Amino acid sequence: KAGVTQTPRYLIKTRGQQVTLSCSPISGHRSVSWYQQTPGQGLQFLFEYFSETQRNKGNFPGRFSGRQFSNSRSEMNVSTLELGDSALYLCASSLVAGVDYEQYFGPGTRLTVT
Amino acid sequence: QKEVEQDPGPLSVPEGAIVSLNCTYSNSAFQYFMWYRQYSRKGPELLMYTYSSGNKEDGRFTAQVDKSSKYISLFIRDSQPSDSATYLCAMPRNTPLVFGKGTRLSVIA
């Protein structure tokens, strides 16, 4: 079974631009969560989608948004990029939403903002 | 106080050593406890998943949970150079996971 895939793997953008990252969950998984990983803050939760609906949202500004499609694929968008948005963005999928379902992570998208 | 605290290391041990990795947490509502391993330039992979206090063993890995002390541990026996990675503890608050900052481990051959 194929794992979680994320595209692109690496991205370089300049301040003020916007970016869209994509995540394809494991086949059959309906829940997708997004996390930001930085050396200073570690892994921080961005948002979670289940059946095309946002179930939870972390403490990030409105410049960070996401959506989920009917095939469970998900995208996240960051508008008006800032230098501090440079991070590894990780997507995780699970069978359904809930604390007792394991989350499987993709390899991440490394975003560099210059 | 952060919800989950983890010593970032780095931790360097010789091959064959027993490694102890630890996390403390403040939220008594946490019921599930996970350990993820993250190799450089990769996403985290689930290593161990435990519920409630006690020990769980999987090969060379043992996860230990002490809810009364809000303290969890991961022990690695007979450590190998391939165990060199960052180890992250995580606990679900509803579905989103709350992570420790991770401990970077190097096992020297």
Q: Mind listing the pLDDT tens digit for each residue in B47-75?
A: 998 887 889 999 999 999 999 999 999 99
B51 touches chain A (CB under 8 A): yes
**Out of A44, A99, A104, whose CB is closest to B94?**
A99
Per-residue three-class SS string for B10-64: CEEEECCCCEEEEEEECCCCCCEEEEEEECCCCCCEEEEEEECCEEEEECCEEEE
Distance of residue A12 Cα from the nearest chain B Cα, in angstroms: 16
Q: Mind listing the pLDDT tens digit for each residue in B5-46?
A: 998 789 999 999 999 999 999 988 888 899 999 999 899 999
Chain A positions touching B47 (Cβ under 8 A) are none
Q: Do A42 and B101 make contact, defined as CB atoms within 8 angstroms?
A: yes
The DSSP line for A63-93 is TEEEEE-TTS-EEEEE-S--GGG-EEEEEEE
Distance CA B92, CA B16 (A): 32
User: What's the pLDDT at B11?
Assistant: 94
User: What's the pLDDT at B96?
Assistant: 86
Q: Do A99 and B96 make contact, defined as CB atoms within 8 angstroms?
A: no
Distance CA A48, CA A53 (A): 8
User: What's the pLDDT at B60?
Assistant: 97
Distance of residue A52 Cα from the nearest chain B Cα, in angstroms: 16
Distance CA A105, CA A94 (A): 9
User: What's the pLDDT at B54?
Assistant: 87
Q: Mind listing the pLDDT tens digit for each residue in A25-74?
A: 999 999 999 999 999 899 999 999 999 999 999 999 999 999 999 999 99
Residue A1: pLDDT band with limits 50, 70, 90 = low
Q: How large is the average pLDDT for residues B90-109?
A: 90
**Out of B46, B100, B102, whose CB is closest to A102?**
B46
